[in-house]
Amino acid sequence: PAIDAAWDDITYASGKSSSTRSFLLNTRLTICSRWFGLADELGGGYMGSVEVLHQLHCLNMLRQASYEDYYKDKPGPWEDSPQILRHHLDHCIDILRQKLMCDADVGILTYVWVKGHKDPFPDFNVHHKCRDFRAVKQWVGQH
C-alpha cells in the first residue's frame, strides 16, 4: 500500500487539472473542438494534465503488470477485459518508447569490473541535469 501511495502521488492519480482556454492558448496549443470542457459548477476550463504525469502513470502500469499476481484482483485497470488491458499496456509501452527516442539521452555509460561477475557491468552513475519534480507538481496544482 505504501508503494502504491507513493506512485499515486507522482502520477495523475493525484488528480487531473483543469486549465482555462486562454492558458491553453498561451501554451501554443491549437484550439480543438474535441477538448473536454468542464461545466462552470466544476470550475470551467478544460481537463488536462502534463505529459510527465501520464508517462509516470504508464511506467506504474508496467510496474504493476510485472506483479500481476498481486494486482489482478485489485480495483483499477485490472478490472478491464484482457483485450482492453493489453491495449492499455501496449499504449504505455509505445508512449514511453516515443519519449525515450524523442529525448534520446546521450549520456555515456561506462563499464566497470564487478567482483564475482564474468563480464563488465554498466556503471549507471551518470550525471543528469534534472527538473525539480516537486516544482512541476506544484505548478500543475496551480494551473
* pLDDT band of 21, cuts 50, 70, 90: low
**What is the per-residue pLDDT across 40-62, written as a single tens digit (0 to 9) for each?**
887 777 777 788 999 999 999 99
* pLDDT band of 12, cuts 50, 70, 90: confident
To which H or E segment does residue 18 belong? strand 17-19
CA distances from 102 to 28, 62, 97 (A): 19, 20, 8
**Rounded to an integer, what distance in angstroms lies between the CA atom of residue 92 and that of residue 86?**
10
Share of the chain above pLDDT 70, in %: 87
* pLDDT band of 25, cuts 50, 70, 90: low
Share of the chain above pLDDT 90, in %: 54
* pLDDT band of 138, cuts 50, 70, 90: confident
pLDDT score recorded for residue 49:
75
